[in-house]
Amino acid sequence: MRLGCRYALAMSDIDRRTFLAAGATAAVPLMLKSTPASAATTRGDWRREARRAGPVVISSGNGLPAVTRAMEELQRGADPVDAVVAGVTLVEDDPGDMSVGYGGLPNEAGVVQLDASVMHGPSHKAGAVAAIENIRNPAQVALRVMRRTDHVLIVGAGALAFAKAHGFKEENLLTERAREAWLKWKENLNTDDDWLNEEQHLERDARAEMAEQLGIPWHYGTIHCAALSSAGDVGACTTTSGLSYKIPGRVGDSPIVGAGMFVDNEVGAAGATGRGEAVIQSCGAFQTVQHMAAGLEPREACLKTLQWIADHTKRRSLLTGAGRPNFNVTMYALRKDGKWGSACMLPGGSFTLHDGTEAKRLRSTPLFE
């Protein structure tokens, strides 16, 4: 189902409140296959309007502590990229969040491999690490890559060596809870791993179902966080342990600049969580920022990217019988004028927000019901 017909009907009260709070133009019909005429006439208008700038912080649904901490940092005058890294560090350190940092679910070999990226609006610099092991705060390492090297992305053993050179301590990131979940997964491994033969490629993806039957966690899971300072500067970060039980060395969208997060200091920031392969193949965060630059409100920009992903998902195992994606992706967007929004492919996505007065968790708008 295309967004245009589903959209108005699907708005719940919370969506409406979110929409109005974000100052979005709710009456504007969406025509996602092309630039809406309404957007064309208002293109760039938000840049000329009086700015209701930051501080504002947006994060994924697991980011309540992150937005709170990042806002404290912003209010103390911190740079937005330092603020978001301080925020996500709390979640990386939390063994209860099995999607990020310490306590994250491991790869197929039982090793926790982490990915993270950061981007700083004013300098338009980015830094990232991928498949880094034994370092619980990859977002902080990504920040060092950005600030202390001429590179953007360092992976694997090189990333670990770089982190150690900068004084990060190696430690075992596999908690007992994560190890037990992985062991159960491994003991029950059959054809439901990530290695596909040509036939399986065409079948339904049964991994989530298998995990549910076993009663163990299996997920895509990540924290994205973006901030707008009161000076109007933007910073963003995405950090993750990635897809559970992934093939060793698999890298998702989170450390890929333009996929898992992107910042244009003239426009705003965007980020993604969920099926990283889909986000990489759509340049999801970059695309979302471009949609905002073209005049779309943040939430509409997220929805347009998700529609693009849906339109370009061809593999049968990733589609429902109705031909819609069977996986979730949630997009988050924060515009330079302080407006924000989030949307998800399927119901269930959520995001957190701090507008300078309170931190709250809100429902992302689903593209498909």
**Binding status of residue 242 toward ligand ASP by CB under 6 A:** yes
Residue 314 CB, shortest distance to ligand ASP, in Å, is 19
Residue 99 CB, shortest distance to ligand ASP, in Å, is 6
Residue nearer to ligand ASP on the CB measure, 55 or 271: 271
Q: Which of 18, 89, 175, 222 is catalytic?
A: 222
CB 267 within 8 A of CB 113: no
Query: What are 56's two structure tokens?
Result: 């504002």
Selected from 62, 137, 222, 244, the binder of ligand ASP by CB under 6 A is 222
Query: What are 243's two structure tokens?
Result: 């897809």
**Binding status of residue 65 toward ligand ASP by CB under 6 A:** no
Residue 253 CB, shortest distance to ligand ASP, in Å, is 5
Helix (H) or strand (E) holding 202: helix 198-202
Residue nearer to ligand ASP on the CB measure, 18 or 113: 113
Per-residue contact string for residues 177-216; x = within reach of ligand ASP by CB under 6 A: ----------------------------------------
**Binding status of residue 101 toward ligand ASP by CB under 6 A:** no
Residue 105 CB, shortest distance to ligand ASP, in Å, is 10
Site for ligand ASP in 244-273 (CB under 6 A): 252-254, 273
Q: How far apart are CA 217 and CA 10, in angstroms?
A: 29
Residue 220 CB, shortest distance to ligand ASP, in Å, is 3
- Residue appearing with tokens 């060596």: 161
Residue 58 CB, shortest distance to ligand ASP, in Å, is 15
Selected from 185, 220, 286, 368, the binder of ligand ASP by CB under 6 A is 220
The answer for 149, left when phi > 0, alpha when psi is -120 to 50, beta otherwise, is beta
Selected from 240, 265, 282, 290, the binder of ligand ASP by CB under 6 A is 240
Is 222 among the residues known to form the active site? yes
Tell me phi and psi for residue 179, to 5 degrees.
-65, -45
- Residue appearing with tokens 């103390």: 76
**Binding status of residue 352 toward ligand ASP by CB under 6 A:** no
Selected from 87, 101, 271, 274, the binder of ligand ASP by CB under 6 A is 274
Residue 245 CB, shortest distance to ligand ASP, in Å, is 12
Q: How far apart are CA 369 and CA 365, in angstroms?
A: 10
Nearest 10 degrees: CA dihedral of 67, 69, 74, 77? -170
**Binding status of residue 221 toward ligand ASP by CB under 6 A:** yes
**Binding status of residue 243 toward ligand ASP by CB under 6 A:** yes
Residue nearer to ligand ASP on the CB measure, 220 or 286: 220
Q: How far apart are CA 269 and CA 65, in angstroms?
A: 20
Residue nearer to ligand ASP on the CB measure, 89 or 229: 89
Residue nearer to ligand ASP on the CB measure, 230 or 281: 281
Residue nearer to ligand ASP on the CB measure, 65 or 252: 252
Size of the site for ligand ASP (CB under 6 A): 12
Q: Which residues contact 185 (CB under 8 A, 6 or more apart)?
A: 211, 214, 216, 218, 244, 245
**Binding status of residue 351 toward ligand ASP by CB under 6 A:** no
The angle that helices 80-92 and 138-148 make with each other, rounded to 10 degrees, is 150
Query: What are 367's two structure tokens?
Result: 């593209």
CB 113 within 8 A of CB 134: no
CB-based burial of residue 303 (10 Å sphere; 0-12 exposed, 13-18 middle, 19+ buried)? Answer: buried
Q: How far apart are CA 24 and CA 36, in angstroms?
A: 15
Selected from 63, 65, 268, 276, the binder of ligand ASP by CB under 6 A is 276
Q: How far apart are CA 245 and CA 211, in angstroms?
A: 11
Residue nearer to ligand ASP on the CB measure, 175 or 254: 254
CB-based burial of residue 208 (10 Å sphere; 0-12 exposed, 13-18 middle, 19+ buried)? Answer: middle
Largest CA distance in the chain: 59
Q: Which residues are catalytic?
A: 222
The footprint of ligand ASP (CB under 6 A) covers: 220-222, 240, 242-243, 252-254, 273-274, 276
